Structure 1
């Protein structure tokens, strides 16, 4: 009887060995990380260039995307394991069935309303009847524009009281220069580039109206958290190091950001040349970096969810607690100076 069972036992042991080998191999695969190509997501660049990922023993494949919706499509297709993306795409796709969690913050601030210095738009009220350049309807920034900037701050109906012209952010300054738009809702570094040229006016700094409001977050599908939870903790530890580097080494980090985002020198109206690193320094007036999700951050994300519901961008109410899990960040930063 014992002899008869040996082949079966041998097969079971072989299968177990194969399973362990496959698991070990899976753990050594690079973590596929997508990120929206925006200055606010500089921690992803810093973590790679300063080898903070490598210090954690983590192999990472970074892939940049032009906007959050396209990145979320890649996540839904299983092409990414984790992402640096705006909070709205996370909860919008969650409402459509992509089970994922927000794990940590990336930045605060970044957006502003600007107009031409000699133009008619000096305050938000002046947007009535005007043309505002902005991003595609339903995107994360569009939620912020329609829900907070226009409805709450300007008391304007975004569908009736002005014309919103969707276009790539890189084209918005040219739209202002050519009088295609009267104002623009955009973010860094485009805001700083316009202001430093001297031909634009700052109408509203969102970081003054909503001090340290969070925008980009680190998120992961629940499948990634289950299969590679230890790697997620390592990535968040590297992310924390990158945040600290941005705060403690501004000169070097400004240089890295200027190179990574291929910033070009700005020419002012009086012929002066402003270096790319000065653009980054100017952007820091409206943009900063932090990774801890505080209570006020969760309240703001809930506010965005409520805007999205009222605007018809999501079909059902959502609670922020269902989409946020700070446990992995707490493990990553346990015993580490915050």
Structure 2
């Protein structure tokens, strides 16, 4: 999509936002299909563990991906309807000329990401990142987390050596010492700490850098399809109920997902649960300020050519169902 086409579409999309996109019907056509991009099979497992899969009312598939860039390629190709992504992929998609409306937001007060150093290296303060070799995953939530960590430390991107790696390669990069510090998620942090002698950054500010925010975004033509729009409503309602169940049943969810599915030891599972904060769903109005902050961080770091208005990345079509079910 060229710039002129993108701006024309963005203008039309903003008008649709003001007028209200097609509202999902009360009843879902059981023959409707939705391809929902998953990561680490989190969404599928959460729905299954909570017993909410049976409440979808349509045919859902959950192809699994390793990171936002791969998901963007698939959704551009029309292979996906909606996708579970981190906080940066919707911004990177817009920067590349593709506007994928955000239909749902969920967050944790404490970030799922951890700055983790290689064996033999202990980082006590964020300022000690200066001069280090850091992983830099373009287009993923890890990117903005790392940039903000450097901002908090007063360290410029020019003061570190950036190594661009795929998400799947990060644990081995830390284990082997290919990089000094990587932005990792569980269970990799706990495993590397216990098995390889890696270490999370010890500065308490690291736990306050950013909340852990993720989104569901959709192809615009999917939202214009009344049957698929209704299916998305059912999906978001079921996901909200599943999230509420996981918050009330943390041990049962952790055993199902981490211990039984990911084959993580009970001790490691307990460490993950102890560090994890509740899963909270947000309406578009609640989510927009944080999304604008992410855009501003990337823009100020020179990763974006223009500063977008976060409001035009969201639709409020499903706000009422999210507010009612969360």
Q: Quickly name the TM-score band, shorter chain normalised.
A: 0.7 to 0.9
Aligned to 2:271: 282
Where do 4+ consecutive residues of structure 1 move more than 6 Å? 24-27
Aligned to 1:145: 146
CA distance in 2 between partners of 1:321 and 1:258 (Å): 35
Once the two structures are TM-superposed, the CA of residue 323 in structure 1 deviates from its matched residue by 0.8
1:249-298 CA-to-partner distances (Å, cap 9, x unmatched) read: 1222112212575234xxxxxxxxxx2x4333322314542222476642
CA distance in 2 between partners of 1:82 and 1:179 (Å): 36
Aligned to 2:19: none
Once the two structures are TM-superposed, the CA of residue 234 in structure 1 deviates from its matched residue by 0.2
* Residue 197 to residue 288, structure 1, CA distance change in 2 (3 Å): farther
CA distance in 2 between partners of 1:202 and 1:122 (Å): 9
Please state if 1:31 is matched with 2:30: no
Q: Is the 8 A contact 2:30 2:58 kept in 1?
A: no
Q: Is the 8 A contact 2:86 2:214 kept in 1?
A: yes
Aligned to 2:159: 161
Once the two structures are TM-superposed, the CA of residue 124 in structure 1 deviates from its matched residue by 1.5
Give unpaired runs (5+ residues) of structure 2. Answer: 1-26
Aligned to 1:309: 299
Structure label with greater radius of gyration: 1
RMSD, aligned CA: 2.9
Matched position secondary structure for 2:80: coil
Q: Is the 8 A contact 1:120 1:182 kept in 2?
A: no
* Residue 298 to residue 193, structure 1, CA distance change in 2 (3 Å): farther
Query: TM-score, normalized by length of structure 1?
Result: 0.76
Once the two structures are TM-superposed, the CA of residue 80 in structure 1 deviates from its matched residue by 0.8
Once the two structures are TM-superposed, the CA of residue 180 in structure 1 deviates from its matched residue by 3.2
Please state if 1:322 is matched with 2:325: no
Please state if 1:105 is matched with 2:105: yes
* Residue 181 to residue 224, structure 1, CA distance change in 2 (3 Å): same
Once the two structures are TM-superposed, the CA of residue 79 in structure 1 deviates from its matched residue by 0.9
Q: Is the 8 A contact 1:110 1:188 kept in 2?
A: yes
Give unpaired runs (5+ residues) of structure 1. Answer: 1-23, 265-274
Please state if 1:69 is matched with 2:69: yes
Equivalent residue runs for 1:1-338 within 5 Å:
28-37=31-40, 42-108=42-108, 109-116=111-118, 118-119=120-121, 121-132=123-134, 134-146=135-147, 148-150=148-150, 152-158=151-157, 160-169=158-167, 171-197=169-195, 199-203=197-201, 204=203, 208-210=207-209, 213-227=211-225, 228-258=228-258, 262-264=262-264, 275=265, 277-284=266-273, 285-293=275-283, 297-334=287-324, 336=325, 338=326
Matched position secondary structure for 2:123: coil
Once the two structures are TM-superposed, the CA of residue 130 in structure 1 deviates from its matched residue by 1.9
Once the two structures are TM-superposed, the CA of residue 34 in structure 1 deviates from its matched residue by 0.6
CA distance in 1 between partners of 2:166 and 2:95 (Å): 26
Matched position secondary structure for 2:83: strand
